[in-house]
Amino acid sequence: MKDYVKIIAIVWKDIISEIRSKEIGGSVLVFCLLVVVIFNFAFQSDEAAIGLVAPGILWVSFTFAGVLGLNHIFAAEKENSCLEGLMLCPVERHVIYWGKLIGSLIFMLVVEAIITPIFLALYNLPILLPGLALIIVLATLGFVSVGTLFSAMAANTRAREIMLPVLFLPIVIPVIIAAVKATGLILDGEPWGELWTWLQIIIAFDVIFLVISALVFEFVIEE
Amino acid sequence: MRYNALFGLGLALMVVALYLVFIYAPTEKTMGDTQRIFYFHVAIAWVAFLAFFVVFVCSILYLWKRAIKWDIIARSSAGLGVLFTTLVLITGPIWARPAWGVWWTWDPRLTATLVLWFTYIAYLLVRSYAVEESRGARFAAVLGIVAFVNVPIVYLSIHLWQTHHPPELVSDLGTSMLVTLLVSIAAFTVLYILLLVRSISLVKMEMQIKRLAQEDARLNPRKE
C-alpha cells in the first residue's frame, strides 16, 4: 500500500470518529467565539484601538482553541489504547505523523473558517480577504506541525492538558508574531511588499518544523 | 585531580575578572559605573547559549546512540542553562533601568532570551511529568532539538518586529574593555564546566542510590 493511502486512511478514521462522537468540534467552536467576545471587553471600546488589537485577538483565540483541539488528537487515542493499535499497523512512524497532522489541520481550518467571518463582522472589518485566508492556512500549518508532535508527547505525561501548552507555546511564538503582524497588514489594506517578509517567516517555520517533527516523531511515540 | 586543577584555574580567573571589572576597566562615559554589570551579563549570556548548545548536541547523540551518559550531560546542562538564563534575565533589567530608564523592552534579544527560558523550563518539566524516566529522557531530547532549532527563528522574527537593544559593542570596545570582557567570559565558562561536572556526578550518584535501593528491595522483601 502506498504511503498516501495509509495517510488518508488515518485522516478518514479521525474525521469519521469526530463526526460520530462530536466530542470536541462543537465545544472548541464555542470556546473560540467566547474568547473573541471576552477580549472585546478586555479592551476599551475605542474604534482606533480595536483596529490595532483585532489581529492579536483573532490569533490568541485561534491559539487557545488550537491548544484544546491539539490536546484531543492523541488524548483520545491514549485513553482507548488506540495508539498501540496504530503502532501495530505496518506503517512507518512518520506516516502516523502525517495522518494525524492532516486530520488536525482540517479540524483547525474548519473552526477558523467558521470563526473568522464572525470575528470580522463583530469588529466591523472587511470580510472578503483572500490574503487573510492564505495567512491563516500557512500559520495554522505551522501550529499543527509542532502541535501534533507535542500532543503525542504530552499525551504520555501526567498533567497532559497543561503540558501541551507549556511545551508548545514558546515554540510557536514566531508563528504567532508573524501571523498577527501579517493579519494587521492585510486588515489595513497594506501592499504586498511588507506582507511578504512575514509570509516568508511563516513558510520557513512551516518547512523547517514539518521536516523536523516528522523526523523526531518516531522517538516520541515509541514504547 | 583534574577537577581540582580546573577549580583552581576557575577561581584564579574569577578573581582576576573581578579585579578587571571593578578596578582595571575604565568607566564608560555615558553610562558610568552601572555599565560594569555588562561584563557579567554578556559572559553569563554566552554561557547560557553554550549550555543550550550542549543540550542540543547531547540530545541528538542520545536519540542516536541511546547511551545514558548523553542524557545525563544534557539534563545537567539544561539545568545550568536555565540557571544562567535566569541570571541574564535578572542582570539585564538591573542594567537596563539606569541605562535606558525602563526595566524591560520587548526587543529581539530580550524577548528571544525570555522565550528560550520558557522552552528550557519546559524541558525540565517534561522530565518531571513523564510517566517513566526513560520516556522523560526521550521527550526531553526531542524538545532539546526542536527548541534549539527554534532559537534563531524566534530571534529573527522578533528582530523584524522591533529593534531596541544597544548595537554590538564589541567592535567599539577599547582594548582594556575587550580584555575584561574576554577574561570574564573565560571565568564563567570555566565555572559552567565545573558546575556541569559536579552536576553530572550528582546525577550518577542518584542513579546509583536508586539502583541500590531496588536491589535491596528485591533481596529483602518486606513482610507486610
pLDDT tens by residue, A63-112: 988 888 888 878 777 777 777 777 777 777 888 888 889 988 998 999 89
Q: Specify the pLDDT at position B165.
A: 54
Within 13 A of B2's CA, how many CA atoms are on the CB side? 5
A174 with B153: Cβ contact below 8 A: yes
Cα distances from B104 to residues B37, B94, B100, B110, in angstroms, run: 16, 10, 9, 8
pLDDT in tens, B181-199: 888 899 899 999 999 999 9
Split into its structural domains, chain B has a count of 1
The lowest-confidence range among A155-159, B123-127, B194-198, B199-203 is: A155-159
Q: What is the pTM of this model?
A: 0.83
By 3-state DSSP, what share of chain B in percent is helix, strand and coil, each rounded to 5?
85, 0, 15
pLDDT in tens, A195-210: 888 888 899 999 999 9
A177 with B157: Cβ contact below 8 A: yes
A156 with B135: Cβ contact below 8 A: yes
In a domain? residue B18: yes
Question: How far is the C-alpha of A223 from the C-alpha of B167, rounded, in Å?
Answer: 48
Domain residues for the domain of A125 are: 3-221
The pLDDT mean for chain B works out to 84
* Strand partners for A15: none
In a domain? residue B224: no
A178 with B157: Cβ contact below 8 A: yes
CB of A89 closer than 8 Å to CB of A3: no
Cα distances from B66 to residues A143, A219, B38, B140, B202, in angstroms, run: 29, 11, 40, 13, 20
Mean pLDDT, rounded, for A204-221? 90
- Above 90 in pLDDT, residue A129? no
Q: Please, what is the end-to-end C-alpha distance for chain B in angstroms?
A: 48
Segment of B27-31, B88-92, B164-168 carrying the highest mean pLDDT: B88-92
CB of B207 closer than 8 Å to CB of B87: no
More confident residue, B136 or B223: B136
| Local confidence band at A1 (pLDDT 50, 70, 90 cut-offs) | low
Q: Specify the pLDDT at position B209.
A: 93
Scanning the structure block, which residue is given the C-alpha cell 581540582?
B4
- Above 60 in pLDDT, residue B115? yes
Mean pLDDT, rounded, for A33-40? 85
Distance from CA of A16 to the nearest CA of B (A): 30
The residue among A219, A104, A11 whose CA lies nearest residue B134 is A219
Split into its structural domains, chain A has a count of 1
- Above 60 in pLDDT, residue B162? yes
- Above 90 in pLDDT, residue A144? yes
| Local confidence band at B171 (pLDDT 50, 70, 90 cut-offs) | very low
Residues of A in contact with B121 (CB under 8 A): 166
What residues contact residue B115 under an 8 Å CB cut-off, 6+ apart? Answer: A170, A173, B154
In this prediction, what percent of chain A has a pLDDT beyond 70? Answer: 96
Instruction: Tally C-beta pairs within 8 A across A and B.
Output: 84
In a domain? residue B68: yes
In this prediction, what percent of chain B has a pLDDT beyond 90? Answer: 31
B124 touches chain A (CB under 8 A): no
Residue of A nearest to B154 (CA): A174
Cα distances from B16 to residues B13, B19, B28, B51, B66, in angstroms, run: 5, 5, 20, 23, 41
| Local confidence band at B169 (pLDDT 50, 70, 90 cut-offs) | very low
pLDDT in tens, B56-67: 999 999 999 988
Scanning the structure block, which residue is given the C-alpha cell 532539538?
B145
Q: Specify the pLDDT at position B172.
A: 57
In a domain? residue B135: yes
What residues contact residue B75 under an 8 Å CB cut-off, 6+ apart? Answer: B127, B137, B140, B203
Q: Specify the pLDDT at position A32.
A: 87
- Above 50 in pLDDT, residue A127? yes
- Above 80 in pLDDT, residue B174? no
B126 with A163: Cβ contact below 8 A: yes
Q: Please, what is the end-to-end C-alpha distance for chain A in angstroms?
A: 25
Residue of B nearest to A179 (CA): B157
- Phi/psi region, residue A81 (left: phi>0; alpha: psi -120 to 50; beta: rest), is left
Q: Which residues of A142-161 are buried (b: 16+ CB within 10 A; e: fewer)?
A: bbbbbbbbbbbbbbbbeebe
pLDDT in tens, B10-33: 888 888 888 888 877 777 766 677
| Local confidence band at B170 (pLDDT 50, 70, 90 cut-offs) | very low
Cα distances from A58 to residues A41, A195, B9, in angstroms, run: 14, 18, 55
The residues of A whose Cβ lies within 8 A of any Cβ of B are: 146, 149, 153, 156-159, 163, 166-167, 169-171, 173-174, 177-178, 181, 197-198, 201, 204-205, 208-209, 212-213, 216, 219-220, 222
The ipTM value here is 0.81
Segment of A125-129, B76-80, B114-118, B125-129 carrying the highest mean pLDDT: B76-80
- Above 60 in pLDDT, residue A37? yes
Residue of A nearest to B120 (CA): A167
The amino acid at residue A93 is R
- Listed by number, the residues of chain B in 29-68 with a beta carbon closer than 8 Å to a beta carbon of chain A are 63
Residues of B in contact with A163 (CB under 8 A): 125-126, 129
A219 with B141: Cβ contact below 8 A: yes
In a domain? residue B168: yes
The amino acid at residue B216 is D
In this prediction, what percent of chain B has a pLDDT beyond 70? Answer: 92
